[in-house]
Every structure is written in C-alpha cells, then in structure tokens.
Amino acid sequence: MDHEFARTFVEGWVKAWNAHDLEAVLAHFTEDAVFRSPVAVQLLGGDGVIRGKAALRAYWAEGLRRIPDLRFEVVGRYVGVDCLVIHYRNQKGGLVNEVLLFDGPLVTQGYGTYLGEDANPAGARHPG
C-alpha cells in the first residue's frame, strides 16, 4: 500500500464518519466485507462478526443512532503491505485502532480494537 493512497483513504474515512455519512463510509468496503468488533457483540449480540455490506449498514446505522455526537480525530495512520491501521480518538476521548485489510482500493476485512473499557457502548463509544 502506498502512503499517498493511505493518506487520501484516511482523510475520506474520517470525513465520512464525522459527517455521519454512512453511505460514504460504506463506499470504502467490498460487498462481502467482514468486520469484527467487541462493540458489535454488545450492540447486536452474537459473535461480533458482521458479514456483508448490508449487515455493516444496519450495524453502523444503529451505532450512529445511539451515538449522535460521534466524532473522530485521527491520531495516526500505519501502513502495511495490504493493510492500514487508523489510530484515532473518539468523541469520549477513547483511543481506538481500526485495522483494515484491502483488496485493491477497498476494504475486505476490518477489526475495531479498543483499550479496555473503551469498547463499552453504554459509555457511548464508537460503533465500529
């Protein structure tokens, strides 16, 4: 992955989340993308694995509904061969890493990772 692509991707990603533009966020993902998050377990039950863009839409729409003041500030971006880690601070000050695996320009797999209790949606953390 090239650093210019990563910079542009992260700028679009954070802009879409901060605008609560769910369709713009989803435009970064393949139709069959898989996303894993401990927040998903708490919001939806199950194993925390969201499969497919339609399921991602439903999950993140619920997250945005529950967290109307959602806002992210990117702290750093870390580039791998076909992956990107977005390190950010959410509206509650919690630090989060989103680990994204790519096939070409689109995300095929994602992981929301949190520090300890930051994954607690009752504390109005990130829906991802």
Read out DSSP for 29-46?
EEEEEEEE-HHHHHHH-T
Domain ranges of the chain: 3-117
**pLDDT in the model for residue 122:** 45
- pLDDT exceeds cutoff 70 at 110: yes
The CATH architecture of the domain made up of 3-117 is Roll (3.10)
- pLDDT exceeds cutoff 60 at 34: yes
Confidence band (pLDDT; 50, 70, 90) for 123? very low
Six token digits for residue 2: 């090239």
pLDDT in tens, 3-13: 999 999 999 99
Within 13 Å, how many C-alpha atoms sit on residue 31's CB side? 0
**pLDDT in the model for residue 124:** 41
